[in-house]
Amino acid sequence: MKRFLFPTLLLLAAVACAPKTGAPAEVPIRTYNAPKATGAITIDGILDEADWQNAPLSDAFADIRGVDFEPKPIKQTNMKMLWDEENLYIAGIIEEDNVTASLTEHDAIIYHDNDWEVFIDPDQDCRFYFEIELNALNTVMDLLMDRPYRDGGKFYLPWDLRGLKTAVHVDGTLNDPSDTDKGWTVEMAIPIASLCVEFQTPQELLDKDWKIGFSRVEWLKESGPEENWVWNPTGLVDMHQPERWGVLHFVK
Ligand SMILES: [Ca+2]
Ligand SMILES: [Ca+2]
Ligand SMILES: [Ca+2]
Ligand SMILES: [Ca+2]
């Protein structure tokens, strides 16, 4: 009996990762070639480390429904990534003329504010992946998904990304609409060991490419609907399409 178990699990994983009917057949997948950091990265929201300056700037974020979808985002968003043996480092560069944030409790539903969102599936199997959201007050929501909602997935909000460090720098004034801000920057250090929930080692994870999605929720109108500006469009208003996220390649 035991020898049949492994192929069955593989089959389940393949089914879980297949795109569903009704969604666009093909979405171009972006790849980011992340350099290895040569020095320490101080998580203070300020991207003045030489490593950040040398890291490539991502493509500008587009509407979640597609790179050519109209209307296009009216505010620029980019990201950068770095890595070392301990951490994945993420920088978010978010143009914003009116930086706002209200939520202060850990694990609040952060996308009710304008936010910055990261989705990570290190082993690319569309199961057991991570979602991290934060606002301009650096309030974090982090959770673990067992699989996408479309496959009956459940989220586990009490899960916290052990050792996660995040910081935000506001270039302007927070919650003061009387002036014009330039934007906000996010700096994150994500311990690779804390993403090993499927019996991998950090080195095993670093040996291969990851799936990674970035999204920015922007409430242009208070009444909504919200804008979803993303690095790799999924083709529909739903980030929980892991096979359509971009690829993180670790440059060795
Ligand atoms: Ca820094
Ligand atoms: Ca996974
Ligand atoms: Ca949590
Ligand atoms: Ca302001």
What distance in Å separates the CA atoms of residue 128 and residue 197, rounded to the nearest whole number? 8
CA of 88 to the centre of ligand 2 (A): 16
Kindly give the pairing relationship between strand 165-171 and strand 183-191: antiparallel
Sheet of 77-83, strands arranged across = 77-83, 87-95, 183-191, 165-171
CA of 194 to the centre of ligand 1 (A): 21
Looking at the CA of 100, name the nearest ligand: 4
Looking at the CA of 97, name the nearest ligand: 4
Look at residue 24 in the predicted model and tell me its pLDDT. 61
What distance in Å separates the CA atoms of residue 244 and residue 252, rounded to the nearest whole number? 24
Look at residue 20 in the predicted model and tell me its pLDDT. 53
CA of 184 to the centre of ligand 4 (A): 11
CA of 49 to the centre of ligand 1 (A): 6
Looking at the CA of 181, name the nearest ligand: 4
Kindly give the pairing relationship between strand 129-134 and strand 115-121: antiparallel
Give the tens place of pLDDT for each residue, 82-135. Answer: 999 999 999 999 999 999 999 999 999 999 999 999 999 999 999 999 999 999
CA of 25 to the centre of ligand 3 (A): 33
Look at residue 199 in the predicted model and tell me its pLDDT. 86
- The CATH number, out of the four listed (2.60.40.1190, 1.10.3720.10, 3.40.190.170, 3.20.20.370), of the domain defined by the range 37-250: 2.60.40.1190
**Assigned token pair, 191:** 């311990």
Look at residue 10 in the predicted model and tell me its pLDDT. 44
CA of 71 to the centre of ligand 3 (A): 34
CA of 169 to the centre of ligand 1 (A): 10
Helix H, strand E, coil C: the string for the chain is CHHHHHHHHHHHHHHHHCCCCCCCCCCCCCEEEECECCCCCCCCCCCCCHHHHHCCCCCCCEECCCCCCCCCCCCCEEEEEEECCCEEEEEEEEECCCCCCCCCCCCCCHHHCCEEEEEEECCCCCCCEEEEEECCCCCEEEEEECCCHHHCCCEECCCCCCCCEEEEEEECCCCCCCCCCCEEEEEEEEEHHHHCCCCCCHHHHHCCCEEEEEEEEECCCCCCCCEEEECCCCCCCCCCCHHHCEEEEECC
Q: Where are the domains of the chain?
A: 37-250
Looking at the CA of 108, name the nearest ligand: 3
Look at residue 1 in the predicted model and tell me its pLDDT. 39
Look at residue 27 in the predicted model and tell me its pLDDT. 78
CA of 52 to the centre of ligand 1 (A): 8
Cis peptide before 225 (omega within 30 of 0): yes
What distance in Å separates the CA atoms of residue 134 and residue 142, rounded to the nearest whole number? 9
CA of 44 to the centre of ligand 4 (A): 20
Looking at the CA of 172, name the nearest ligand: 4
Low-confidence ranges of the chain (pLDDT < 70): 1-25
**Assigned token pair, 27:** 């979405």
CA of 191 to the centre of ligand 2 (A): 16
CA of 26 to the centre of ligand 2 (A): 22
